[in-house]
Amino acid sequence: MTCLSVNVNKIAVLRNSRGGHDPDVVRAARTCLEAGADGITVHPRPDRRHIRAEDVLALAQLTQQRGVEFNIEGNPFAPAREGYPGLIELCRQTRPAQATLVPDTDGQLTSDHGFDFARDASRLEPLVAELKSLGCRVSLFVDADNAMLARAASLGADRIELYTGPYAEAHLGGQPQSSLAAFAAAARRAQSVGLGVNAGHDLSLANLGDFLAAVPGVLEVSIGHALIGEALYDGLDETVRNYMAILRQHRTD
């Protein structure tokens, strides 16, 4: 069964552009949940350009009250600094259902590649273990063509999140078939070693259905940028409901 976790980072971007408290990130998250979303995702970064540590605490409280999943994404290697206690510490304070580890650098505009396990495995393994000791399910952000994808399982991760940017680009270009085949093969490789499969980045109302139809066993999609952009035209409640309608068409027990 594929779940929808709405990434509310872009709400915080808009708020931060003027300062103050509007639009309200928690209110937006509540609207998403009331429209049927299965959970909320945030990706706090050290520069605090969108979601901030205080938002993470408030959204953790909301999701705990609602009994839904909270997913915190971030770079586990980024050191703590003023206003940003670090990913592991945020997870320690909030105990999210899922921690998604992503190898983005401080100055990176958005996440655009997965982990290189040949380089990163030795540093990841103890952090995965620490997060699991906090009760978090751990997902690692990976590229579909990663030849060492199965390494995520030996590191102790529960899931991978397939970086779907290349698929979205191929779909926009009108030739998604080879990309879909690559993602389907990656999902099967992950599942064969016991990993659950999540997906995210540039998924949208236009391309989500084709992805789910081709890629087996996707447990969760994390969608933010496209969803918030679409909500500018149709409203947040209706947009989330439109996503849920697509998910219902492809949900399997």
Tokens of 151: 């390494």
Clarify whether 43 is annotated catalytic.
yes
**Cβ burial 179-213 (10 Å sphere, 16+ → b, else e):** bbebbbebbebbeeeebbbbbbbbbbbebbebbbe
Q: Which of 43, 50, 69, 161 is catalytic?
A: 43
CA distance 145 to 106: 25
Residue 201 annotated in active site: yes
Catalytic: which of 171, 201, 220, 230?
A: 201
Q: How far apart are CA 252 and CA 104, in angstroms?
A: 33
| Number of other residues whose CB lies within 10 A of the CB of residue 81 | 12
Query: Which residue reads 């703590």 in tokens?
Result: 80
Catalytic residue among 69, 73, 161, 230: 73
Taking Cα atoms as reference points, which of 212, 215, 192, 159 lies closest to residue 4? 212
What tokens does 198 get? Answer: 């999540």
Please list the active-site residues: 43, 73, 201
